[in-house]
Amino acid sequence: MSRLANRSGARQPHRPGRWLLILALTLLAGPALATADAGSVEQNGARFDTRIQLDDRTLALTGTGVARYRVIFTVYAAALYAPANIQADDILATDTPRRLEIEYFHTISAEDIIRAATTKLEDQRTPEQLAALQPAIERFHNLFEEVSEGDRYRMDYQPGAGITLSFNGEKVGRVEGADFAAAYFAIWLDANDPLSRSLRDDLLTGLR
């Protein structure tokens, strides 16, 4: 039985309307100010380390931002990590380690998270590209479960190993493939059609 199936009957929290179903089409990022201390940055109450260790590599925080729905709802805060010497244009073009970490501010079902990602992947990829990626996408989406306020998902990509998904710091699974990793991170980082242009810019603000 999948994690999603196990979680579905565990709790039935109140959800703030069906706006979540169209999350991928209407997300707006806001330039919320981040405050920093010696080793972390705070973004809308979510705190992110300025440097992290990914196996044997040290990655630097390249930027943080928030995703909003119609300005009213701040859906989540996100942070991106990459090697300090990489350029913004190379974040997806090169096979480099990276991390995307997201802290949620509302209850969102696994179905809505998956629907949002799938909608953007369909916008960005040709049918032929999607067909080739579909087995990896399905394996990855089967790892997701419902999130509540304060929950975090973390996606760590390591060349040769694939994307490892962690939920609140606990590893829940890994999907191999550099092509899949580039396509999935492109949901947020694609130069032409990201989920949110302003969020992409915020996440890449520290890169050249």
- Spatial neighbors of 143 by CB under 8 A, at least 6 apart, are 3, 165, 172, 173, 175
Query: How far is the C-alpha of 51 from the C-alpha of 8, rounded, in Å?
Result: 35
How many domains, in total, are found in the chain? 1
- In tens, the pLDDT along 103-120 reads 999 999 999 999 999 999
- In tens, the pLDDT along 129-179 reads 999 999 999 999 999 999 999 999 999 999 999 999 999 999 999 999 999
- In tens, the pLDDT along 79-88 reads 999 998 888 8
Asked if 185 contacts 199 with a C-beta cutoff of 8 angstroms, the reply is no
**How many residues does this entry show for the chain?**
208
- In tens, the pLDDT along 181-205 reads 999 999 999 999 999 999 999 999 9
- Residue 71: per-residue pLDDT: 52
Mean pLDDT (the chain) is 85
Asked if 196 contacts 29 with a C-beta cutoff of 8 angstroms, the reply is yes
Domain that holds residue 59: 3-203
Is residue 177 included in any domain, yes or no? Answer: yes
pLDDT-derived band at 208 (thresholds 50, 70, 90) equals: low
- Residue 14: per-residue pLDDT: 43
Nearest 10 degrees: Cα torsion 156, 159, 161, 166? 0
Is residue 139 included in any domain, yes or no? Answer: yes
pTM to 2 decimals? 0.84
Is residue 8 included in any domain, yes or no? Answer: yes
Is residue 208 included in any domain, yes or no? Answer: no
Question: The domain that contains 111 carries what CATH number?
Answer: 3.50.70.10
